[in-house]
Structure 1
Amino acid sequence: MVKNYQSNDEIQALLANFTNELTTLVRRSTLQQLQSVLGGSTMTSTAAPTMTRKVKIVRMGKSSSGGKRTTEQVAQFGATLLDFVMKNPGQRGEQIAQALKTDVKTMRLPMLRLIGEKKIKTKGQRRGMTYFAA
């Protein structure tokens, strides 16, 4: 049955009580899940047991894609790019990337360095840009 409340104060008090109870339950549940994942002792709870997800923590090794490259890696790839452009002048970035089995994004930094060092010249704009040895 629905009760008729006399004032907004009673409604506000009920909402505050509900919010406090809900916050307490969420915190308790979160702590239980964290402790079960971390292998600690579980908290005793008066609330009903909650369903917990099993989380598998895996140590990630260095992936081949993503992450920062060292200066040596960029320089080494730059040398590969320069060698390829010397042997195959006039190709676009997409063609070079396909031939070297990489992507254009990976090529960008070494190629910009080679252009800045004036080892490679360019003709055209954007995707139509072709590369030549200087």
Structure 2
Amino acid sequence: MKLGKGNVIIGNVPSDLEAGDGNVIIGATDAHGNTIINTPMAVGRGAQAGPNSIAIGAGAKAGSAVTLGEAIQQLIDIAEAAHDRESVTLLTQIDTELEKEDPDKSVILRAWDAVQATASISGAHSLVQAITNFLLGL
């Protein structure tokens, strides 16, 4: 069996496996060929996992591996690349408010309601969802 690049292979792996660059192979952890994963981990190129989370696959993200500030900055970058000045302004307003010792939640949530339309910008949907999850916890 021959694999390309960036794969994650888990379980009873054939001995004739030819893995390409960037592959991660996790063999069986018991005599039955099963792989038991019961601790937080990130497996795969660029994978990130927060506490109590498991992320498997190239670029996979689980839990809160990205902080709220990082997620907002990434969304600002996407909005800037799309020349969406209104979203950049609103996101900057949210970021500034969050940096205050006692942020005004109504200001943050009002601006966030207006900015959620940026989810239609390519690459922004998962960031919008992650930020929404953070803000729901305020």
* Interval of TM-score (by shorter of Structure 1 and Structure 2): under 0.3
Answer 1 or 2: which has greater helix percent.
1
Answer 1 or 2: which has greater strand percent.
2
By relative contact order (CA 8 Å, sep 6+), the higher-ranking structure is 1
Q: TM-score, normalised by structure 2?
A: 0.27
